[in-house]
Amino acid sequence: MEELKNIKVALLGSGTVGTGVYKLIERQREELPHKVGAGLTVSKVLVRDKNKKREGIDPSVLTDQWEDIITDDEIQIVVEVMGGIEPARTYITEALQAGKNVVTANKDLMAVHGGELLDIASHNGCDLLFEASVAGGIPIIRPLKQCLAGNYISEAMGIVNGTTNFILTKMTHEGMEFDEALALATELGYAEADPTADIEGYDAGRKMAIMASIAFNSRVTFDDVYTEGITNITAKDIKYAEAMGCTIKLLGVAKNTESGIEVRVHPMLIPSDHPLATVNDSFNAVFVHGDAVDDAMFYGRGAGEFPTASAVMGDIIDVARNIQFYCTGRIHCTCYKDLPIKKITEIESKYFMRLLVDDKPGVLARIADTLGKNEVSIAQVIQKNKVNDMAELVVITDLVLEQNFADALVEIKGMEHTREISTVIRVY
Amino acid sequence: MEELKNIKVALLGSGTVGTGVYKLIERQREELPHKVGAGLTVSKVLVRDKNKKREGIDPSVLTDQWEDIITDDEIQIVVEVMGGIEPARTYITEALQAGKNVVTANKDLMAVHGGELLDIASHNGCDLLFEASVAGGIPIIRPLKQCLAGNYISEAMGIVNGTTNFILTKMTHEGMEFDEALALATELGYAEADPTADIEGYDAGRKMAIMASIAFNSRVTFDDVYTEGITNITAKDIKYAEAMGCTIKLLGVAKNTESGIEVRVHPMLIPSDHPLATVNDSFNAVFVHGDAVDDAMFYGRGAGEFPTASAVMGDIIDVARNIQFYCTGRIHCTCYKDLPIKKITEIESKYFMRLLVDDKPGVLARIADTLGKNEVSIAQVIQKNKVNDMAELVVITDLVLEQNFADALVEIKGMEHTREISTVIRVY
C-alpha cells in the first residue's frame, strides 16, 4: 500500500472556534484517512502571543508570524478563525494568491468582502468555503449551493442569532425584562462583553447578507440589510403578542421578489404554531422556500465551540477531498445575477403598534384618520387598560408600505394627545 | 468565448418523479450554465410504451430500448427513477460499468444493494448519488457525508414516511380512526393503491437503513431493520397519549451504541414539546445528534413530484460539476467500518401497554408479578374505565429489554383473566 498522504493545515487564531477545530482534527485522526483518503495535520497555528500556554494545543506548532505560514509551501489549507476584517482579509487574500485553499468562519468579512474574496479564489483555482459563517453548526450553505441548486429560492427566513433568541426565550417563558435576560445571557456566556452586534441585529444582518447572496444567486452585502434590534422589546409586548396567539422573535427575512431583493432583520410577531416559533434558547433555524422543494427548515446550534468547529471541519474535509481529486475551486461564487436590492421604505409590512394617548373623545378617530391619510389601513384596534387619564391602544395594520407607515408615525408622534409610542413591531 | 459544453442525461422512467426532473431541467435551462459551467439536456427517456403521450416531454427523446441508452457514449448521467429492484439494479450496474454516472431515487434498491452498487461506482470512478432516496426533498445525505463529516453521529431519528404521518396527524387532530384516515390519504393521493409498504413501516425502514449506513459509516441493509407499522393504532391510544402529554408518531430510530447499531421503525409516544411532535401532515423531519454539532434537525417534504425532483436535480448538478472538473467518484461509499447490528430483542425500550382484564381482585397483582418476574419494572399503572365486568388498564414500563417484555407479554396474554391486549407502543 502506498504511503498515506498528509495534508497540512494552518489555523489562524486559537480562540474558542480555533481550539474546537484543533480538537476535532485530533478526535477524527483515525477516521480522516477513510473519509478523505489522506491524513490531516495542523502544522501551524497563528497566535498573538506564542508563549501563552493553550490547553490541548502542541506548543511547537504555535507561531506569531504570518510569514511562517504564507511561505510554507506544504500548507494547503488555511483556516481563518480570528474574526474581524483586518488582518483576516489580507491573510485570506494572500493565502488564495499563493494557491492555498481557505476555510473561514468570518461572517463580518464575508458579508462585506465575500464577492471580492471569492473572485480571488476563482482566479487561483482555490476553494474558499465558509459554512460556519452562517448559523454556526447548521448545514445551510452547502444545502443551498448543492442540494437545492435545482430550485429558484424565493425566501429564506430565520432565527440566526442565538444570543437574542436566548434573551427573547427568557422574556417569553419566564417573564423577564430585556435587561435582566441580557444580564443572564452574559453570565452564561451567551452574550459577549459588548453585546451590541447581537442585540442590535448586526450579527444576524451579516448572516442574512451571506445567505441571501447564495439563495438568490446575486450579491447582497451587509450595507444592503436593514437591521433593527430587540432592545425596545418589553415583557408587556410579549404578553400582548401571546394574547394574539403570537411569539416575538428576532427574524432575518430575505425575499426574492419581482421588483428586487428584500433583506432585513427585525423583531417580528409570528404565529405560535409556526415552526420557527418553537425554536428556543440559543438554537437557530433557517426556513427556506424553493419552487421545487417547497418549504424546508434547518435547525441546530448557531454558535459555540464545537458546533461552529463542526461546520469548519465539514469544509476542511471537503477541501481535502478536492485536493485529493485535483478539483479545488470546484464550486465557485454562485452570484451570477445582479438583482436590484429594495430599500426598506419600499417594502410592505404589517405592523403592531402600542401607544399611550390622552383618554379623551376623538383621539382614536384622529389617529385612525392620520393612518388613513397615509394609506395605512387598519386591521384591528384594541383599547387596552386605562391608566389615570391615559388610554393604551394597540393598533394592527394590514400590509402597508414601510414609508407610509413611517410617515404616519411621525405625524402621530407629533399629535397633541399622543403621550408615548411604546412599541412598533412588524407582524408576519 | 468557447462554445458551451452540453452534458447529456438519460432518464429511466417517466412517472411522477421522472416528469418532475424533466420539467426542472427545462425550468433551469438558463441557470444551469452559470451553476455548472455547462448545459444539461435530457437526450433519452426510457419508457415502457413510447407511443403513449407524455405531457411536457418531447416525444422524440422517448425510447423503450435500454440498448439505446447504454450504447450512447454521449450520455454521461443516467437518472434512475423507475423504482423497484429489477431491472433498475441491472441498468445501474451496466451504466456504471460503462463509465456513466448515476443518480437514483430508488430506496428499495439502495437499502438492499447500496453497498454493492457503490463499490461498482468506485471501481469505475463514477458518481452514484441518491439524495432523493431518503426523505425526498430534504437535504440529508449530503449534510451527513459532507457538512457533518467531522462528527461522530450517535443518533439519527426521524419521521421519514409522509403517508403514515398524514394518517397519524388526521387521527390526532380530527379524531379519525385508522381506516378512515387511510381512506382519506388514498383519496388525496398520499397513499398508493397498495399502501402496505407505507403503513407497515417498510418504506421508512428502507430509508433508515440508508441513513444509518451513512450516519455511522457502517453498512446497514433493510434486513437489519426491525419494522412495525401503524395499523394497530387507534384513536383511543392517541387520546391516552395526549392525556400523558405525548403524541404518537411513526419514528425511525437509528443509534450507534457501544454494543452495536440499533435500527428500527415503530410507532412511538413522544413528548408533545419535542420538535418532531409538531411535524405534521405529509412533512418529514430528521433529527441528528453528533458529538460536535450537538442536535440538528432537517425538515421538509419527504415525497411528491417536485420535492423529490429537487433532490434528484441537486445530485445531477453535483455530478455535472464533477464532470466539469474531472473528479467524478469524488465522494465514494463512506461505510468503512463493520459494526455489529443489534437484534431488536437486545434493545432496551420503554413501553405503553393498554389491556382489558376481568374486573376481579388480584388480577392487577398477578400482572405486576408477571412483569416483575421477567425483569420488567413498572413506571406507572393507570386503571381506566370499567366496562361491564372488565377493567381497562394502562401500564407504562421503565426502560426494559425488549426480549424480557416480549416474554412477559406472552405470559400475560395467556392468563385466565386477560381479555385483550389492546395496544403495545414504545415510549420515547
State the average pLDDT over residues B254-264. 97
Residue B329 confidence (pLDDT) above 80: yes
Comparing CB atoms, the residue among B217, B304, B314 nearest residue A147 is: B314
The average confidence (pLDDT) of chain A is 95
B142–A143 C-beta distance less than 8 A = yes
B178 and B64 share a domain? no
B174 and B280 share a domain? yes
Which ipTM did the prediction report? 0.94
Model confidence at A55, in pLDDT bands (50, 70, 90)?
confident
On chain A, the residues whose CB falls within 8 A of the CB of B312 are 150
Q: What is the pLDDT of residue A386?
A: 84
B300 is in an annotated binding site: no
A289 and A398 share a domain? no
B205-223 per-position pLDDT tens digit: 999 999 999 999 999 999 9
Residue A297 confidence (pLDDT) above 80: yes
A110 assigned to some structural domain:
yes
The CATH number of the domain holding residue B390 is 3.30.70.260
State the average pLDDT over residues A72-87. 97
Q: What is the H or E stretch that residue B165 is in?
A: helix B162-174
Per cent of chain A over pLDDT 70 is 100
Residue B1 confidence (pLDDT) above 70: no
B119 and B153 share a domain? no
A321–B325 C-beta distance less than 8 A = no
- Chain A closest CA to B388's CA: distance in Å? 42
C-alpha–C-alpha distance, residues B345 and A323, integer Å: 45
B73 assigned to some structural domain:
yes
Residue B383 confidence (pLDDT) above 90: no
State the average pLDDT over residues A239-258. 95
State the average pLDDT over residues B291-316. 96
B151–A310 C-beta distance less than 8 A = yes
A327–B307 C-beta distance less than 8 A = no
Location of C-alpha cell 384618520? A369
A340 assigned to some structural domain:
no
Q: Could you please report the per-residue DSSP string of A53-67?
A: --TTS-GGGEES-HH
Q: What is the pLDDT of residue A110?
A: 98
Comparing CB atoms, the residue among B275, B291, B309 nearest residue A292 is: B309
Q: Please state whether beta strands B226-227 and B260-271 pair in parallel, antiparallel, or not at all (unpaired).
A: parallel
The average confidence (pLDDT) of chain B is 95
Pairs of CB atoms within 8 A across A/B: 189
A276 and A153 share a domain? yes
Location of C-alpha cell 384516515? B181
User: Which residues of A are known binding-site members for NADPH?
Assistant: 107
A1 assigned to some structural domain:
no
A148–B314 C-beta distance less than 8 A = yes
C-alpha–C-alpha distance, residues A299 and B289, integer Å: 12
B400 assigned to some structural domain:
yes
A313 and A409 share a domain? no
Catalytic residue among A44, A100, A170, A207: A207
C-alpha–C-alpha distance, residues B75 and B11, integer Å: 10
B201 and B237 share a domain? yes
B331 assigned to some structural domain:
no
B170 and B297 share a domain? yes
B307–A292 C-beta distance less than 8 A = yes
B336 assigned to some structural domain:
no
Q: Which of A202-206, A274-278, B174-178 has the lowest mean pLDDT?
A: A274-278
B102-161 per-position pLDDT tens digit: 999 999 999 999 999 999 999 999 999 999 999 999 999 999 999 999 999 999 999 999
B294 and B225 share a domain? yes
B17-63 per-position pLDDT tens digit: 999 999 999 999 999 999 999 999 999 999 999 888 888 899 999 99
Closest chain B residue to the Cα of A273, Cα to Cα: B278
Domain that holds residue B111: 6-136+306-324
A148 and A227 share a domain? yes
Model confidence at A2, in pLDDT bands (50, 70, 90)?
low
The CATH number of the domain holding residue B223 is 3.30.360.10
Catalytic residue among B207, B249, B255, B342: B207
Closest chain A residue to the Cα of B333, Cα to Cα: A35
B61-74 per-position pLDDT tens digit: 999 999 999 999 99
State the average pLDDT over residues A165-186. 96
A301–B147 C-beta distance less than 8 A = no
A375 assigned to some structural domain:
yes
The CATH number of the domain holding residue A53 is 3.40.50.720
- The per-residue b/e assignment along A298-310, b for 16 or more CB within 10 angstroms, e otherwise, is bbbbbbbbbbbbb
Closest chain B residue to the Cα of A149, Cα to Cα: B314
B82 and B18 share a domain? yes
B219 and B312 share a domain? no
User: Which residues of A are known binding-site members?
Assistant: 12-19, 107, 192
On chain A, the residues whose CB falls within 8 A of the CB of B217 are 31, 34
B35–A149 C-beta distance less than 8 A = yes
Give yes or no: A207 in active site. Answer: yes
- Chain A closest CA to B337's CA: distance in Å? 9
Does residue B87 have a cis peptide bond before it, meaning omega lies within 30 degrees of 0?
yes
Residue A418 confidence (pLDDT) above 70: yes
Give the start-end residues of each E strand in B52-166: 62-63, 75-80, 101-104, 128-129, 153-159
Q: Give me the number of domains chain B comprises.
A: 3
Q: What is the pLDDT of residue B2?
A: 59
Number of neighbours of residue A27 by Cβ within 10 angstroms: 18
Q: What is the pLDDT of residue A217?
A: 98
Closest chain A residue to the Cα of B151, Cα to Cα: A310
Comparing CB atoms, the residue among A217, A293, A311 nearest residue B301 is: A293
Location of C-alpha cell 460556519? A132
